[in-house]
């Protein structure tokens, strides 16, 4: 593709979700923010009815504590049920045409390199932690290890209800920020999100994907005759297939990211063409963007919402631009070869190329999606730093609902700092921000780097990490840091090259998955709950405006400052050191090649 035409893909990848986000945000506001006194009537009758099937009671008026308790109880029930279903996979008699066995019997290599073939329920623990937390970090390969029942009744089901759970917490937080008497009913909100947001969107997207060639079948693997069967001693080949389109639609729309196949969206059945690539990448960010538009409607302050939207979009655009520029340079692995002058094609599908792959890498990690259409381990070091940095900041649209929750913590801190600078009590949306709210925000913000840096430091210093990396030095360290960053940010993508399916990685990342998800939802909800009980103070000439470019710059600076202080050492020891070492090696190889050519002449 011509360089000028290659930029058409990222242009459309940004333009399409931005255009979609405004009508989608308005639709979400109309269907999810039901006026007080209208609950259970009209369109809201169906979600209310479904919620009563779960709770056997009328909708409740919950404060933040009851709302958080309901959310945590629901997710705990999900954990127990889905763990049992995955554990029982070999004995479930239907929707298993290829006879998949136990997920716990994959086997692994210990720190000494010896193969262990015994049952390891830690991989089930990790998988359930991953999908219950809307992360979809996969230490298994779906087409090899899961039956269709597990894919649909466990994986796809969790892909619907877990992003809806995050959206529920956002709704309750917004109600608290605007001062509602109560924050709603978690179960009714859950049904509203599934019925009126995720299911219609995914139905349309799945039909489009089927039309563009993504498989959707309950038949078992296809048996194909190979052309060189005699030479390879393999006369037939089993080609995995299944209900792929249903999973791909919700994995993208719900900021899930877990693939039906091990290669995820690099697999031609999940992403067969440039059109499916564009639809998929647009769906990654469409609903997270729309949720910010909905926030402006609910808070009756669209200018403030546009400031948040603009800051997030600026981070995303900058990350995509850096990744694309870095991937347009050749890979160090091709130094001295005839292809060394071209862009980095290592680890990429030819049908996607470096520009579409770099754009996807930035967008999937700016949100907590985590699907991939290339091997992030093969990105040039600076390009690999972009997805890592997006997850470290964890405020660039992020997950549905969770992105606003994460950014709210930085907003409160930015307001507090501004208040200190001018000598006024900080205010946000007409409510005074006091020590209790700021402390909760700082706990939420600092827990994220603590989980990443503590986990990466432990594994980088022990055989748990050093024996599982595919590369030595800075690049191997980046693999470790990326895995913990992906788990803590509830993203789910992998740098790959990491032998992570073993008990120590499964348990460690499973714990990080849980701690990275639920405190990040409950703490902002608590802040909103405390603010909801405070009286609104009138605006004066000294009130800090949160709807102009000045506040946008302050918010952006707060995010970057905290991010740099928290993660700069890890980034320097990983991607930056990797870049410097590969640049030095490239220069030395180029000089050697030039000397050899000179001698030949």
Tokens of 94: 């239907």
Instruction: Taking residues 155-176, report their average pLDDT.
Output: 95
Euclidean distance between CA atoms 96 and 427, whole angstroms: 57
Cα–Cα distance, 318 to 330 (Å, whole number): 21
Considering only residues 330 and 78, tell me which one the structure prediction assigns the higher pLDDT. Answer: 78
The β-bridge relationship of strands 236-239 and 222-225 is antiparallel
Give 351's pLDDT tier (boundaries 50, 70, 90): confident
Closest to 218 in 3D by CA, of 241, 237, 238? 241
Query: Residue 2 pLDDT more than 60?
Result: no
pLDDT exceeds 80 at position 101 = yes
Sorting pLDDT into bands at 50, 70 and 90, what band is 282? very high
Find how far residue 363's CA is from the centre of its chain. Answer: 9
Cβ-Cβ contacts under 8 Å for 594 (sequence gap 6 or more): none
Q: Tell whether 228 is covered by a domain.
A: no
- Going by the DSSP 8-state scheme, the letter that residue 335 receives in this structure is T
CA 34 to chain centre: 28
Residue 231 lies in a domain: no
Mean per-residue pLDDT, 417-427: 81
Position 195 scores a pLDDT of 94
- Using an 8 Å Cβ cutoff, are 14 and 318 in contact? no
> What was the pLDDT predicted at 110?
65
Tell me 222's DSSP state.
Answer: E
CB 248 within 8 A of CB 280: yes
48-81: per-residue pLDDT in tens?
A: 888 888 877 777 889 999 999 999 999 999 999 9
More confident residue, 410 or 58: 410
Share of the chain above pLDDT 70, in %: 91
- How many angstroms separate the CA atoms of 119 and 108, rounded? 10
In the predicted structure, residue 206 carries a pLDDT above the cut 90: yes
Q: What is the pLDDT of residues 292-304, one digit of tens each?
A: 999 999 999 999 9
Output the pLDDT for position 114: 67
Residue span of the structural domain in which 37 resides? 3-223+238-586
What was the pLDDT predicted at 393? 93
Separation CA 517–CA 231 (nearest Å): 51
Q: Is residue 283 part of a domain?
A: yes
Does 569 fall in a domain? yes
Residues 172-178 have a mean pLDDT of 95
Share of the chain above pLDDT 90, in %: 58
- Burial label for 95, CB within 10 Å (0-12, 13-18, 19+), is middle
Residue 586: pLDDT band by 50, 70, 90 thresholds? low
Tell me how many domains the chain contains: 1
Based on the number of CB atoms within 10 Å of its own CB, is 202 exposed (0-12), middle (13-18) or buried (19 or more)?
buried
* Residue 91 burial (CB count, 10 A): 8
How confident is the model over 162-179, as a mean pLDDT? 95
Q: Name which of 33-47, 217-231, 511-525, 551-565 the model is least confident about.
A: 217-231
* Bridge-based pairing state of the strands 431-432 and 427-428: antiparallel
pLDDT at 340 over 80: no
Angle of the 549-571 helix axis to the 435-460 helix axis, nearest 10 = 30
Q: State the chain's mean pLDDT as an integer.
A: 88
Q: Residue 453: which pLDDT band, with cuts at 50, 70 and 90? A: very high
Read off the DSSP letter of residue 469. Answer: B
Asked, for residue 232, whether it belongs to a domain, the answer is: no
- Among the ranges given (46-60, 72-86, 137-151, 430-444), the one the predictor scored with the smallest mean pLDDT: 46-60
Asked if the model's pLDDT at residue 17 lies above 60, the reply is yes
- What's the pLDDT score for residue 346? 85
The pLDDT score that the predictor gives to residue 142 is 80
Q: Which residues contact 563 (CB under 8 A, 6 or more apart)?
A: 389, 392, 393
Flag whether pLDDT at 477 surpasses 90: yes
Q: Considering only 109-123, 213-227, 257-271, 473-487, which range has the smallest mean pLDDT? A: 109-123
Residue 230 lies in a domain: no
In a domain, 601, yes or no: no
Strand locations in 326-459, DSSP E?
427-428, 431-432
Q: What is residue 232's predicted lDDT score, i.e. its pLDDT?
A: 58
Top pLDDT among 499 and 214 is at: 214
- Which of 98-112, 163-177, 189-203, 475-489 has the lowest average pLDDT? 98-112
> Tell me, what's the pLDDT at 8?
82
Is residue 434 in some structural domain? yes
What is the mean predicted confidence (pLDDT) over 115-135? 84
Q: Would you say 222 and 241 are in contact if contact means Cβ atoms under 8 Å apart?
A: yes
Q: Is the pLDDT of residue 410 over 90?
A: yes
> How high is the pLDDT of residue 7?
74
**Closest Cα partner for 107 from 122, 90, 85, 92?**
122
Q: E strands along 65-217, which residues?
A: 108-109, 115-116
């Amino acid at each position: 593709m011509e360089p000028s035409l290659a930029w058409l893909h990222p242009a459309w990848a940004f333009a399409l979700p931005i255009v979609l986000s405004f009508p989608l945000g308005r639709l979400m506001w109309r269907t999810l923010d039901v006026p007080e006194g209208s609950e259970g009537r009209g369109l809201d009758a169906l979600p209310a009815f479904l919620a009563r099937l779960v709770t056997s009671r009328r909708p409740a008026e919950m404060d933040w504590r009851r709302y958080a308790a309901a959310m945590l109880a629901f997710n705990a029930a999900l954990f127990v049920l889905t763990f049992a279903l995955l554990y029982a996979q070999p004995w479930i008699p239907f929707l298993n045409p290829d006879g998949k066995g136990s997920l716990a019997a994959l086997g692994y290599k210990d720190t000494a390199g010896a193969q262990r073939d015994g049952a390891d329920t830690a991989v089930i623990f990790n998988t359930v932690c991953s999908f219950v937390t809307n992360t979809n970090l996969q230490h298994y390969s779906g087409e090899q290890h899961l039956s269709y029942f597990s894919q649909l009744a466990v994986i796809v089901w969790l892909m619907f209800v877990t992003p809806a759970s995050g959206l529920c917490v956002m709704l309750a937080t917004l109600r608290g920020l605007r001062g509602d008497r109560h924050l709603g009913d978690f179960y009714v909100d859950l049904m509203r999100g599934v019925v009126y947001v995720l299911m219609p969107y995914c139905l349309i997207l799945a039909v489009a994907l089927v039309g563009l060639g993504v498989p959707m079948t309950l038949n078992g693997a296809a048996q194909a005759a190979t052309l060189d069967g005699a030479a390879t001693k393999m006369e037939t080949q089993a080609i995995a297939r299944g209900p792929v389109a249903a999973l791909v639609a919700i994995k993208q729309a719900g900021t899930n990211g877990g693939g039906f196949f091990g290669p995820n969206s690099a697999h031609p059945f999940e992403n067969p063409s440039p059109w499916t690539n564009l639809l998929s990448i647009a769906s990654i960010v469409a609903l997270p963007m729309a949720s910010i538009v909905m926030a402006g409607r609910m808070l009756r302050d669209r200018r403030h919402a546009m400031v948040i939207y603009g800051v997030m979009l600026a981070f995303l655009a900058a990350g995509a631009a850096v990744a694309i520029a870095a991937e347009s340079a050749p890979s160090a692995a091709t130094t001295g070869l005839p292809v060394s002058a071209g862009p980095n094609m290592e680890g990429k599908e030819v049908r996607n190329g470096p520009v579409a792959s770099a754009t996807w890498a930035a967008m999937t990690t700016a949100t907590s999606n985590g699907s991939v259409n290339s091997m992030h381990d093969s990105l040039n070091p600076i390009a690999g730093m972009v997805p890592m940095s997006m997850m470290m900041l964890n405020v660039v649209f992020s997950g549905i609902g969770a992105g606003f929750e994460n950014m709210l913590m930085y907003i409160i801190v930015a307001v507090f700092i501004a208040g200190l600078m001018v000598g006024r009590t900080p205010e946000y949306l007409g409510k005074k921000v006091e020590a209790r709210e700021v402390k909760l925000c700082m706990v939420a913000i600092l827990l994220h780097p603590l989980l990443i840096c503590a986990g990466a430091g432990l594994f980088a210093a022990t055989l748990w990490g050093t024996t599982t990396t595919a590369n030595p030095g800075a690049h191997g360290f980046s693999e470790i840091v990326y895995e913990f960053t992906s788990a803590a940010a509830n993203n789910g993508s992998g740098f790959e090259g990491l032998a992570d399916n073993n008990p120590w990685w499964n348990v460690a990342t499973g714990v990080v998955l849980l701690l990275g998800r639920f405190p990040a939802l409950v703490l902002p909800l608590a802040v909103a709950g405390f603010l909801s009980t405070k009286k609104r103070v009138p605006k004066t000439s000294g009130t800090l405006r949160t709807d102009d470019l000045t506040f946008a710059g302050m918010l952006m600076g707060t995010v970057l400052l905290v991010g740099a202080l928290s993660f700069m050492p890890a980034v320097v020891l990983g991607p930056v050191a990797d870049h410097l070492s590969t640049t030095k090696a490239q220069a030395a190889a180029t000089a050697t090649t030039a000397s050899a050519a000179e001698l030949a002449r």
